[in-house]
Amino acid sequence: MASVGQAHCAPNLTLLPLPPKCPALNPVENLWQFLRDNWLSSRVFPSDRAILDHCCHAWNKLVDQPWRIMSLGLRDWVHGC
């Protein structure tokens, strides 16, 4: 049994330490970046309610596009290396 902090893997695998809290490794960060880049950036809102309404509209627009969510969550370097 491995002790805490140790992992056993096949001899042909090399474990690489990953930085903690790295947004590039979190697929959800891709969704937020897509929302910012396409529907939430470069706008001026008259009120807090307008911000909330616009964010909800953008989120619902994204939810209606499941193929886009899937493509944003995939990483070529994870699935095709």
What Å distances lie between residue 5 and 14, 15, 16, 39, 67, CA to CA? 16, 12, 14, 42, 37
**Residue 40 resides in a domain:** no
What's the predicted TM-score (pTM) here?
0.61
What amino acid is encoded at 49 in this protein?
Answer: R
Nearest-angstrom CA–CA distance, 74 and 31: 11
**Residue 64 resides in a domain:** yes
Residue 1 pLDDT level (bands cut at 50, 70, 90): very low
pLDDT digits (tens, 9 = 90+) for 11-62: 888 877 777 777 777 788 888 889 999 999 999 999 999 999 999 999 999 9
Domain range spanning residue 58?
27-33+46-76
Residue 2 reports pLDDT greater than 60: no
What is the DSSP code (8-state) at residue 47?
A: S
Question: Does residue 34 contact residue 57 with C-beta atoms inside 8 Å?
Answer: no
Task: Provide the domain count of the chain.
Answer: 1
**Residue 38 resides in a domain:** no
